[in-house]
């Protein structure tokens, strides 16, 4: 704490008066009175506090309030909340105090802002839960998010006063979530500045080099804009348009990102320059028509690049963005992107939700797509079973996702992330439609549930009352809504299996005059390759464990190599620790085999299957321990595994599969034989109907009376795969069936 100097007090007062003078969305003296009241409270609460830079702390909330009103366009309530946003977190004031002085709505927004403050502390999942709670306010009042974005923007603008490690941490958070969130809400100017500032502190040399390159091109760019614009100005003026033509370079971050993703040098980023034509719309003519008229004038002058036309006036983005983009060959042999917008479209593009809402209120537009997106977030948050960290990951993925637009059979438009499947579409229509989906018709052709959709597809979902969601579906879907719905079904089934298994084992033990006890479970756990009572109950409930040899197991002397581990397990459990928190469990493979267990109680595993060799249960495998403690399972003969064994032997652990009968793994078989009528049908009938195996892909080709090809399918283990191969070999005409070992070097 330190007393402010007279000069500093004058600086604070001047900053606040500047905020008041430029409060364009405040309604008269009442609003100003409440804003001054908020300033007095915040100024008193933060009295003597300073930022890392040494400046008075109160300048920060004033600056956030300026961003909220000047750059986002929000009104008096948001300005008050911005001024007070750190009061509850950093001082003695409570949310109740705020409510008593300013009412319930402002108190609710301040509460939401307080909850998000520590979202990115990586020590526990509590912060993910805070983020989840904060988003609960999104559908009630999006101003919570907008003010938080303004707060983050000012922190990024003043990040130079922080130590380097803090700069990198804050920049990483900004790129990870805040920038895509700004993008999703249509705040393009803020999104761009957040990305550029993040790059500046994460990779300062890269940022400065690119900035110098862009600056060096500035004169040349000005000349190019003038040369490019002159013939268009004449045409537009002759038709009677009132307009502005501006040109500005691509952002530093987007140039860097394109160089990274396409692996090209700065000189090959062809759309470095974007030119905007912003026009005054004639009220009698639809804006869309005027955009296309201007497009016609541009393409009459310059040759367009056909694959670079983006029509967001016919179908706006989910965040409300509207514009027509075209890339044309400029007068100096350079590609130039031209963005065509009305003034209304431009304001929405730059200021996002706030401008959108303003136009909606005035009856000049609609934010229906954004409203629908907010509704989706509410649906996710309302799921009481959803895991906070899973939610955060899914939400992040959906923030980053590019969008496609697909149609229902009746012509309704649905917005989905890029790479969404027909199963995602089914869940988008309704959760029950998703749960009962068996297939789909895309553009009137029958496709599978994992078929990847493209923009413009028309999709019809086929359902069956006997269908149930299964674990493989988690690999099919992209959207958070679909994943959440599938996990809910799976968790419900797991609870049922646990309850059923518990009842079965209790009845079975009763036959031997025994009750479930730690002594009994010490014998059962190693015998059935399980780590917890719930896992044992679940396996019994699903039929994986039959208890046929229970009597024999109970009679066994349990003093074997497993006992010390299980005693340790029970000691830890008695201290009310979850198994996943025990170091003994995490290192259960040290000096022994790592047991690859079928995880039935959760959707996440501590191991993953290596994509280079795709082992399945029953294959001879080894484990590679990553730095985060997770295990990657490789086939022993995998070239990558062999290299890892020779170079990082200390990270290699022997691995053994436990019984796997629920989860399925992708395998491929190669078939050859004599072509005859109905043989393809016989093969698929054996696989799908008699053996109940799901096929992912079939590629069989016939030539000169002989057929051959491959089938990709999901199996539980090598035993099931060998059984399937033997059954196919029995089909008349089939000469050869063998597993395809897909191993990449």
Active site residues: 89-90
Mapped onto helix, strand or coil, the DSSP state of residue 481 is helix
| 3-class DSSP string for 290-336 | HHHHHHHHHHHHCCECHHHCEECCCCCCCCCCCCEEEEEECCCCCEE
Cα angle at 706 between 702 and 709, to 5 degrees? Answer: 55
Q: How far apart (Å, rounded) are the C-alpha atoms in residues 25 and 73?
A: 7
Closest residue by Cα to residue 78 from 63, 64, 68, 87? 68
Bridge-based pairing of strands 273-279 and 243-249 is antiparallel
Largest Cα–Cα distance in the chain? 99
Q: How far separated are the first and last CA of the chain, in Å rounded?
A: 62
Query: CA 534, 538, 544, 547 torsion: positive or negative?
Result: positive
Q: How far apart (Å, rounded) are the C-alpha atoms in residues 381 and 132?
A: 7
**Crossing angle of helices 218-239/287-301, nearest 10°?**
120
Q: How far apart (Å, rounded) are the C-alpha atoms in residues 164 and 536?
A: 49
* CB-CB contact of 645 with 681 (8 Å): no
Bridge-based pairing of strands 621-625 and 665-674 is unpaired
Q: How far apart (Å, rounded) are the C-alpha atoms in residues 367 and 401?
A: 20
405: its two tokens: 């637009």
The alpha carbon of 406 is separated from its chain's Cα centroid by a whole number of angstroms, namely: 20
- The 10 Å Cβ neighbour count of residue 535 is 23
Q: What contacts 519, CB < 8 A, 6 or more positions away?
A: none
Torsion from C-alpha of 61, 66, 69, 70, nearest 10 degrees: -160
Bridge-based pairing of strands 594-596 and 607-609 is unpaired
For residue 633, CA distances in Å to 91, 607, 693 come to 51, 7, 23
202: its two tokens: 């994460």
Query: CA 73, 76, 77, 81 torsion: positive or negative?
Result: positive
The string over 80-97, giving b where at least 16 C-beta atoms fall within 10 Å of a residue's C-beta and e elsewhere, is: bbbbbbbbbeebebeeeb
* CB-CB contact of 108 with 170 (8 Å): no
- Residue 332 CB-density burial (10 A; 0-12 exposed, 13-18 middle, 19+ buried): exposed
| 3-class DSSP string for 74-124 | CCHHHHHHHHHCCHHHHCCCCHHHHHHHHCHHHHHHHHHHHHCCCCCCCCC
- The 10 Å Cβ neighbour count of residue 583 is 10
**Upper half-sphere CA count for residue 464 (Cβ side, 13 Å):** 7
- The 10 Å Cβ neighbour count of residue 478 is 21
368: its two tokens: 């229906």
* CB-CB contact of 714 with 668 (8 Å): no
Cα angle at 640 between 634 and 643, to 5 degrees? Answer: 115
571: its two tokens: 């000691």
- Residue 665 CB-density burial (10 A; 0-12 exposed, 13-18 middle, 19+ buried): buried
Mapped onto helix, strand or coil, the DSSP state of residue 657 is strand
């Amino acid at each position: 704490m330190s007393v402010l100097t007279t000069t500093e007090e004058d600086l604070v007062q001047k900053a606040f008066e500047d905020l008041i003078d430029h409060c364009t969305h405040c309604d008269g003296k009442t609003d100003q009175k409440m804003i001054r009241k908020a300033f007095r409270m915040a100024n008193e609460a933060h009295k003597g506090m300073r930022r890392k830079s040494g400046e008075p702390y109160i300048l920060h909330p004033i600056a956030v309030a300026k961003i909220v009103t000047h750059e986002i366009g929000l009104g008096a309530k948001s300005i008050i909340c911005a001024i007070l946003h750190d009061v509850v977190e950093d001082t003695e004031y409570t949310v109740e105090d705020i409510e008593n002085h300013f009412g319930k709505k402002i108190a609710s927004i301040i509460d939401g802002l307080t909850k998000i403050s520590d979202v990115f502390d990586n020590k526990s999942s509590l912060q993910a839960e805070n983020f989840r709670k904060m988003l609960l306010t999104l559908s009630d009042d999006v101003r919570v998010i907008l003010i938080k974005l303004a707060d983050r923007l000012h922190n990024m603008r003043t990040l130079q006063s922080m130590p380097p490690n803090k700069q990198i941490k804050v920049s990483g958070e900004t790129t990870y979530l805040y920038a895509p969130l700004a993008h999703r809400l249509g705040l393009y100017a803020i999104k761009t500045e957040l990305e550029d500032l993040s790059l500046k502190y994460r990779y300062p040399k890269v940022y400065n080099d690119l900035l110098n390159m862009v600056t060096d091109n500035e004169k040349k760019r000005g000349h190019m804009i003038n040369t490019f614009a002159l013939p268009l100005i004449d045409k537009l003026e002759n038709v009677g348009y009132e307009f502005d033509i501006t040109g500005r370079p691509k952002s530093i971050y987007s140039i860097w990102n394109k160089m990274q993703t396409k692996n090209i040098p700065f000189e090959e980023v062809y759309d470095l320059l974007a030119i905007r034509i912003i026009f005054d719309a004639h009220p009698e003519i639809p804006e869309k028509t005027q955009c296309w008229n201007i497009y016609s004038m541009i393409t009459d002058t310059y040759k367009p690049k056909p694959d670079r036309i983006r029509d967001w006036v016919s179908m706006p983005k989910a965040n409300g963005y509207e514009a027509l983009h075209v890339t044309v060959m400029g007068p100096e042999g350079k590609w130039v992107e031209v963005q065509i917008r009305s003034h209304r479209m431009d304001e929405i593009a730059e200021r996002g939700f706030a401008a959108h809402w303003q136009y909606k209120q005035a009856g000049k537009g609609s934010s229906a797509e954004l409203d629908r997106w907010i509704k989706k977030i509410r649906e996710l948050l309302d799921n009481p079973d959803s895991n906070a960290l899973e939610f955060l990951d899914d939400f992040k993925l959906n923030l980053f996702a590019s969008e496609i637009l697909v149609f229902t059979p009746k012509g309704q438009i649905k917005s989905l992330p890029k790479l969404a499947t027909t199963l995602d579409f089914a869940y988008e229509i309704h959760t029950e439609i998703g749960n009962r989906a068996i297939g789909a018709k895309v553009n009137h052709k029958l496709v599978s549930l994992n078929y990847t959709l493209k923009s413009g597809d028309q999709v019809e979902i086929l359902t069956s009352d006997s269908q149930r969601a299964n674990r493989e579906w988690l690999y099919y879907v992209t959207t958070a809504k679909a994943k959440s719905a599938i996990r809910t079904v799976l968790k419900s089934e797991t609870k049922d299996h646990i309850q059923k298994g518990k009842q079965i084992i209790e009845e079975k033990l009763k036959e031997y005059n025994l009750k479930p006890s730690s002594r009994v479970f010490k014998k059962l756990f190693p015998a059935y390759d399980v780590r917890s009572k719930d896992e044992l109950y679940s396996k019994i409930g699903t039929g994986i464990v039959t208890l046929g040899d229970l009597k024999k197991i109970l009679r066994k002397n349990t003093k074997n190599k497993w006992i010390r581990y299980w005693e340790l397990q029970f000691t830890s459990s008695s201290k009310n620790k979850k198994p996943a928190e025990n170091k003994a469990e995490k290192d259960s493979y040290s000096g022994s085999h790592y047991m690859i267990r079928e995880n039935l109680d959760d959707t996440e595993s501590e191991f993953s299957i290596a994509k280079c060799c795709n082992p399945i249960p029953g294959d001879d495998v080894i484990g590679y321990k990553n730095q985060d403690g997770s295990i990657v399972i490789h086939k022993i003969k995998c070239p990558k595994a062999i290299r890892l064994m020779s170079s990082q032997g200390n990270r290699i652990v022997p691995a053994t599969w436990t019984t796997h009968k629920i989860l399925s793994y992708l395998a491929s078989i190669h078939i050859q034989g004599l072509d005859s009528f109905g043989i393809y049908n016989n093969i698929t009938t054996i696989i799908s109907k008699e053996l109940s195996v799901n096929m992912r892909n079939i590629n069989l080709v016939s030539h000169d009376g002989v057929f051959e090809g491959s089938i990709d399918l999901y199996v539980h283990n090598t035993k099931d795969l060998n059984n399937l191969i033997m059954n196919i070999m029995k089909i008349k005409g089939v000469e050869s069936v063998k597993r395809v070992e897909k191993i990449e070097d």
